[in-house]
Amino acid sequence: MNERTSKRLLNAGSGPAHFGRPPAAFATAEWTEVRLDLDPRAQPDIIGSFADMRGLVEDAQFDALYSSHAIEHLHAHEVIPALREFRRVLRPEGFALITCPDLAAIARQLLQAGAEEIAYQSPAGPIRPIDMIFGHSQSIADGQIHMAHHTGFTAPRLARVAFAAGFSEVRVMEGGSFDLWAALVGPQASLATIATMFEHSYLAGLFDDAAAQANSSSAPLAQI
């Protein structure tokens, strides 16, 4: 396939193939997914850390990047360099779609029900506020030390670090499962085109005003 008809998606910190699948908008023949993960047991296409992909991924190789519940595993000082890596491997018209735990929503749950009350069930088992803050306790106890969380995000913080990494526009919204979703947009990306990809999904709220902002030089840079 040539570049005009095929687009490439980097799944950064993908985990196993059956886990953390990208949104349905990427599940078309137009997109080819490349999985990158630090753990060889996940059988990724590329083994390595998304915090530093130099030597693994050349500049401007991907049309989009997806990262699900991965950036919270970084230490705080690694976050902006990692997001700069996201920007480096994306084409100028590309964008990154990131989801991670929402500290504000987790804090509300913790204050209401306590740190160890089960908030929801996941494929890994019951999840409590303490798991969402520090990493899934049982997985870590089972030896998966890389599952520990070393930093966390609120909507304003996620927007701030994305701008600090050099993205041209950042959209952040709260999800429905103690999570945040963010779109980090490249300098030549069309917000209207990206919005069309997600218009019938739960992510449509990220781009509610995309068409108007795409044609307005005075539009705000962040939607938080």
Rounded CA-CA distance 132/130 in Å is 5
- Residue 219: CB atoms within 10 A of its CB come to 14
Within 13 Å, how many C-alpha atoms sit on residue 10's CB side?
30
Alpha helices in 50-170 (DSSP H): 79-89, 103-113, 129-134, 137-141, 155-164
Cβ proximity of 73 and 15 under 8 Å:
no
Confidence of residue 214 (pLDDT cuts 50, 70, 90): very low
pLDDT at 99 over 60: yes
* 99, amino acid identity: T
pLDDT digits (tens, 9 = 90+) for 132-183: 999 999 989 998 898 899 999 999 999 999 999 999 999 999 999 999 999 9
Q: Are the C-beta atoms of 185 and 194 separated by less than 8 Å?
A: yes
Secondary element (H or E) of residue 92: strand 90-101
Rounded Cα distance between 174 and 159, Å, is: 12
pLDDT tens digits for range 103-115? 999 999 999 999 9
The residue-averaged pLDDT of 184-191 equals: 95
Domains of the chain: 7-103+150-223 (3.40.50.150)
